[in-house]
Amino acid sequence: MLQLFLRRKIMHHFDSDCYVPRHRLIFLIVTLASHDACWAQEAASVEPEENQLSESSEAAVRNAIRKSAEDYATSFNDGNAQSIAELYSENAELIDAAGNVFLGRDSIQQEYAAFFDSHPNATISIELEEVHVLSPGVAVERGRAETKLGDGQPVAHSRYTAIHGRVGESWKMLHVVDVDAEPAEPGANLEQLSWLIGQWVDEDRDSLVEIDCYWDPGGSFLIRDFKVRVEGLLAASGTERIGWDPLRKEIRSWAFDSEGGHTEASWKSTSDGWMVDARGFRADGEPTKATYLLTPMKKDAYHVASTARFAGQLRLDDLDMTIVRNPPLPRANQDTARSLTEQTETAAE
């Protein structure tokens, strides 16, 4: 799930060296990536140009990720576990469709080697759906895979999300999640969350949070993109994918922010809304967790309460906020608003 909280108060129990003015304390609890106060200070104080890529640089990143996907398919079809492992970072994490977790390049290589020993004729085809460049050093790849174990053997369909990070002059996979793809309209299980679709905002005197929720092209996932602006400048961004887990028989989500943090969450229906149990890691590896309660208030608003928030061993304050739907602009004002947004983001570069 993806929830963004703008910090309303200074957290008095943090160390004094984390103190910053109120407008600096933007907390992205990207449904799962609750970050501590010191991180928020760092994220808000980064010069905008350092978080921006030129169109040519972003295109180069996308091409590198596509090349990695092609190399993966080639190595898989050759049964080459070592070549596949080299596409991962040394401390990478792989979560397969059964929920098994493999930590580190060596463990991942051993798993692929064992798989190829059992299925020497296995082949894979990959359909890369999108590459989202979050920052100069972080990109998210999403797509579909079809795995054939051999002639007359079952065919497995899956979806995957891979977080890539720049390691030296190359790009490596840092975190990969595979999820079985249900052949029969998996998006039907998400209809109960369709009220989230649309554009939403939370606005303060000097900050603005924008959330855009929509169906993915295949209709199997809900996607939520967010942007946080401080004093008109883009401070952070990220994306979240909400889908149905056929193994756990529950709704789950995966969120990634522009600083490299990521989180996973399980959604459970309650009598008046949804409870979301989120766990993840900051970019520096510190674990985070929180519980979110989403309560629809009316057609164009919903309330979010965040409790049991931790960054490492540090207990963070409970937070709550009300998200409201952003009404569409009159047609005459849409071009003007789009132009102003482009000018603001150009100035940030």
- Give the pLDDT confidence of 53-80 residue by residue, as tens digits: 677 788 899 999 999 999 999 999 999 9
Contacts of 183 (CB under 8 A, 6+ apart): 157
> Among candidates 269, 326, 336, 338, which has minimal Cα distance to 301?
326
Q: Please tell me whether residues 229 and 312 are part of one structural domain.
A: yes
Task: Note the pLDDT tens digit of each residue in 91-101.
Answer: 999 999 888 99
Instruction: Tell me whether residue 190 is exposed, middle or buried, using C-beta atoms within 10 angstroms of its C-beta: 0 to 12, 13 to 18, 19 or more.
Output: buried
For residue 317, give the 3-state DSSP assignment: coil
**Do 123 and 167 fall into the same domain?**
yes
Encoding tokens for residue 161?
Answer: 């999300």
Domain final position from 152, 180, 208: 180
Domain final residue, candidates 125, 145, 180 = 180
Q: Output 339 or 293, whichever has higher pLDDT.
A: 293
Q: Could you give the CA distance from residue 72 to residue 80 in angstroms, rounded to a whole number?
A: 9
194 and 108, same domain (yes or no): no
Reply yes or no on whether the pLDDT at 336 is more than 70: no
Question: What pLDDT is attached to residue 271?
Answer: 84
> What was the pLDDT predicted at 319?
85
CATH of residue 333:
2.40.128.20
Mean pLDDT, all residues of the chain? 79
What pLDDT does 333 receive?
47
Tokens of 290: 């929180």
Residue 170's domain spans which residues? Answer: 55-180
Assess whether 322 and 268 both reside in one domain. Answer: yes
Q: Which of 180, 210, 227 is the last residue of a domain?
A: 180
Same domain, 171 and 77: yes
How far apart CA 23 and CA 168 sit, in angstroms, is 34
Are 264 and 174 within one domain? no
Q: Which residues contact residue 331 at a Cβ distance below 8 angstroms, ignoring those fewer than 6 apart?
A: none
Distance CA 253, CA 274 (A): 13
Structure confidence by residue, pLDDT tens digits, 235-287 = 888 999 999 887 787 899 999 999 889 999 999 988 889 999 999 998 899 99
Q: How many domains does the chain have?
A: 2
